[in-house]
Amino acid sequence: MSKGNESAISPRRGEDFPEWYQQVVRSAEMAENSEVRGCMVIRPWGYALWERMQSALDGMFKATGHKNAYFPLFIPLSHLQREADHVEGFAKECAVVTHHRLELKDGKLVPAGELTEPLVVRPTSETIIGATYAKWVKSYRDLPILLNQWANVVRWELRPRLFLRTAEFLWQEGHTAHETEFEAIEETEKMLGVYETFAREWLAIPVIRGEKSESERFPGAVRTYCIEAMVQDRKAIQAGTSHFLGQNFAKASGIKFLSRNNTEELAWTTSWGVSTRLIGTLLMAHGDDDGAVIPPRIAGTQVIIIPITPKEETRAAVLAKTEEIAVALRSATYAGESLRVEIDSRDIGGGTKTWEWIKKGVPVRIEVGPRDLESGSAALARRDKGPKEKEFLPAETLASRLPEILAEIQQGLLNGALSFRREHTRKIDTKEEFYAYFTPNSPEKPEIHGGFALTHWNGSPEVEAKIKEELKVTIRCIPEADGSEFIDEPGTCPFSGEASSRRVIFGKAY
């Protein structure tokens, strides 16, 4: 509990950011490690965030013409082998099923019934979906196919971290097939735009959109586009990707169609996805030393009403008043939706309840006690302000004030994250300054340094590989020029001395 200069979360962000993050996840009751190494249990407060993300994104997908479907969890090994770059990129992360039953032997269960062909537990679905599309597509009239699926995937992580990297996680993956290259590229860029809009308008996270370098591309893709976020230890998180697959997967899977010219052609395909990694990104972008801070648009609960009932004789009246306030608030709207309001009527101390909700990051807390009944007011506290800051408002004005307050919180979080990113993004033109920027000044706090470096690069994979080996710094993206922060200007690569057509974003990443 925060008292004086203390904070609710220990250690603080500036002391040990990775451990701070783990403590935020746990204290906010978002998730916890499961009995299966590398996997997590997503608790209701964390899953409510994922449900909100699902709902918002699902609506955006359908508004752009996509429909939902579902494909198998198990992928025949032979399907992965059809696309060489793809299987090489995922081989080390695959979980493989080789048997279909268990038998009791010497008092122990042992695998029995070996499969004729091993099955890979879905790491991603391009190959199995491609095989299905090959059955569906016969003519140009069958195109485009615009499908999305909400699913779980398995990638065998050696160094798991809740939400950011786990062996099993939840995501959505869009898979589309098109008649022309132009349509597929247009689809790839359109869905990247959907992700960028969602990150900014719902998560209050400013992201940089751009293209991945060749070494960072999705295995088997012709081009990979991404949105990159900066979190509070100045590292990058790849928050979403959209891949132009060209005809590579169509060729491997046999997605062919009779064209308008009566010739047989290969389809052009795309894939795109985001995952529960967005929850970790959200916490790292907005959290503080008292816990999670959740933007109002994505919060499962936007307003928590806390009855203060020190005496039993006033309890019923206070609870009745909180219900009255809740009904009024639920009739109000913010961002086109009714306010999501909850009452915490548990029979525990008001201080304990308050700190639980502070750590969970609920945007607004309203306290109602016996004195408030007499004055006709209520105490309102905002999560984006100090834990002890309160504003006393007439109860009858809460419904009209809350939409404005929630909008202020949402915009304030976006502005704060954008200011932080700008503060820690630097144009660097010499190798010496670049290496110094990404080298810790203090051995005691090696994780808090650097940021994003806007630096020229000659396009050489060798230069890129050397920087990654020596500094653990990678090219996060080749940013799309927006006329201000990421100006597309020619220059000189400071690592090779060769000409460079533009700057790219370098950074350390999760």
pLDDT in tens, 294-348: 999 999 999 999 999 888 888 999 999 999 999 999 999 999 999 999 999 998 8
Q: Report which of 272, 277, 278, 125 is spatially closest to residue 191, judged by C-alpha positions.
A: 272
Amino acid at 27: S
Distances (CA, A) of 237 to 162, 404, 447, 476: 14, 31, 15, 9
- Would you say how long the chain is, in residues? 510
pLDDT at residue 214 in the model: 95
What's the rounded Cα separation, in Å, for the pair 137 and 262? 15
| H-helix segments, 7-137 | 17-27, 44-63, 77-81, 84-90, 126-136
All structural domains of the chain:
17-286 (3.30.930.10), 303-405 (3.40.50.800), 425-507 (3.30.110.30)
Residue 150 tokens, joined: 């909400």
Q: Report which of 422, 510, 473, 448 is spatially closest to residue 237, judged by C-alpha positions.
A: 510
All residues at 6 or more sequence positions from 376 whose CB lies less than 8 Å from its CB, including other chains: 394, 395, 396
User: pLDDT digit string (tens) for 91-126?
Assistant: 889 999 999 999 999 999 999 999 999 999 999 999
pLDDT at residue 1 in the model: 42
- Going through 143-260 in order, the beta strands assigned E by DSSP cover 145-154, 168-178, 207-211, 223-230, 236-246, 256-258
What's the rounded Cα separation, in Å, for the pair 212 and 241? 9
Residue 104 tokens, joined: 């009791």
Q: How confident is the model at residue 83 (pLDDT cuts 50, 70, 90)?
A: confident
Which DSSP helix (H) or strand (E) runs through 286? helix 277-286
Q: How confident is the model at residue 482 (pLDDT cuts 50, 70, 90)?
A: low
DSSP string, 12-34: -TTT-HHHHHHHHHHHTT-EEE-
Contact 339, 326 (CB under 8 A): no
Residue 390 tokens, joined: 């309160």
Of residues 235 and 350, more confidently modeled: 235
Amino acid at 300: G
Contact 482, 206 (CB under 8 A): no
- Going through 388-507 in order, the beta strands assigned E by DSSP cover 391-394, 425-427, 452-456, 474-479, 491-492, 499-500, 503-507
Contact 218, 225 (CB under 8 A): no
Q: How confident is the model at residue 448 (pLDDT cuts 50, 70, 90)?
A: low
Torsion angle defined by CA atoms of residues 414, 418, 421 and 425, in that order, rounded to the nearest 10 degrees: 160
Does pLDDT of 89 surpass 50?
Answer: yes
All residues at 6 or more sequence positions from 442 whose CB lies less than 8 Å from its CB, including other chains: none
Q: Which residue has the tokens 């009855």?
A: 307
Amino acid at 497: G
What's the rounded Cα separation, in Å, for the pair 117 and 247? 27
Instruction: Please give the average per-residue pLDDT across 31-58, as a whole number.
Output: 97
pLDDT at residue 487 in the model: 67
- Indicate left, alpha or beta for 95 from its phi (over 0: left) and psi (-120 to 50: alpha): beta
Q: Report which of 270, 182, 159, 283 is spatially closest to residue 231, judged by C-alpha positions.
A: 283
What 3-state DSSP class applies to 99? strand
Q: How confident is the model at residue 446 (pLDDT cuts 50, 70, 90)?
A: low
Q: How confident is the model at residue 158 (pLDDT cuts 50, 70, 90)?
A: confident
Tell me whether residue 394 is exposed, middle or buried, using C-beta atoms within 10 angstroms of its C-beta: 0 to 12, 13 to 18, 19 or more: exposed
Q: How confident is the model at residue 2 (pLDDT cuts 50, 70, 90)?
A: very low
